[in-house]
Amino acid sequence: MSSVQTFFRDKSVLITGASSGIGEELALQLAQAGAKLTLTARRKDRLETLAQKIADAGKPRPIVAECDVTRDGDLERAVAEATRAFGKLDVIFANAGFGVVAPLKKLALDDYRRQFETNVFGVLRTIYAALPELEKSRGNLAIVGSVASWVATPGASPYSMSKYALRALANSITPELRASGITVTLLSPGFVASEIRITDNQGKVHPGSKDPIPPRMVVSTPKAVREILRAVASGKREQIVTGHGKVLVAIERFAPWMLRALNARMATIRAKDDTRKWE
């Protein structure tokens, strides 16, 4: 049995944003590891399909809880369902999020508010709802951030700001929660196969849209999630996920002038080719 299976076996795990992408793959791999799952997202039909897929594979059927991280009360109900079903909550993945992308002049304050409501306040709602149970279990809090918290790019200021905020949050609360026995892991993925880049600024998915990132730079979701689970199981403080993500963070730390030069070039290109017109 691997260290990941040993760590997660029989643990009660709640995942926000479990209906697609990283959240969906977390559910699949954690089910294989023997975790007791509570899956939350806005799209309950997709959660039910995922739960049935896990059950059909011979694993216990997860609890499904329709949940919008921007609404007060939803996360408290999801946590209550998890603890009622499994008697405890050991691990929570604060994974729900999306990206608002456009040049500054095409954005309004409401765009930034909408981005922060999901990506920042949604994570805070998740933490506050789960904190009493995580204190009881001396459990793990995993926050899904982004390499964008290290490397901000032109045309993505709302998203980058929200992920910078999560990194600051994780750095601040890690020593605070350690006193309660809670281990915090900040997960910072680079480009991972998911729906985030074909989701518009209102949170609507456009299945036929082309991913703007070249396929050679996109890491498969199963590979990224394996790295994520190893990081949480080993109690790492932060894990940069994907090889290109590690390279970009290293450049930002040790040769930031290189990224500034690249960003200046990207700003020129995007000004000439503003193709993401979904609003």
Q: What is the pLDDT of residues 35-66, one digit of tens each?
A: 999 999 999 999 999 999 999 999 999 999 99
Does 279 fall in a domain? no
- Whether 192 maps to a domain, the answer reads yes
* Cα separation, 92 vs 22, whole angstroms: 14
- pLDDT tens string 125-167: 999 999 999 999 999 999 999 999 999 988 889 999 999 999 9
Q: What is the DSSP letter of 220?
A: P
Instruction: Please report the beta strands in the chain, taking only residues with DSSP state E, as ranges in sequence order.
Output: 12-15, 36-41, 63-66, 91-94, 140-144, 183-189, 238-241
d(Cα 99, Cα 199) in Å, to the nearest integer? Answer: 7
Total domain count for the chain?
A: 1
Residue 261 lies in a domain: yes
Q: Report yes or no on 59 lying in a domain.
A: yes
| Residue 247 maps to a domain | yes
Within a domain: residue 45?
A: yes
Res. 90: pLDDT tops 60: yes
pTM: 0.88
* 164 sits in which H/E element: helix 157-178
Q: What is the mean pLDDT of the chain?
A: 89
Would residue 159 show up in a list of annotated catalytic residues for this protein? Answer: yes
What's the rounded Cα separation, in Å, for the pair 78 and 9?
Answer: 21
The residue whose two tokens read 């691997």 is: 2
pLDDT at 54: 98
* Domain CATH for 155: 3.40.50.720
Domain that holds residue 30: 3-272
Average pLDDT over residues 228-244: 95
Say what the pLDDT of residue 259 is: 76
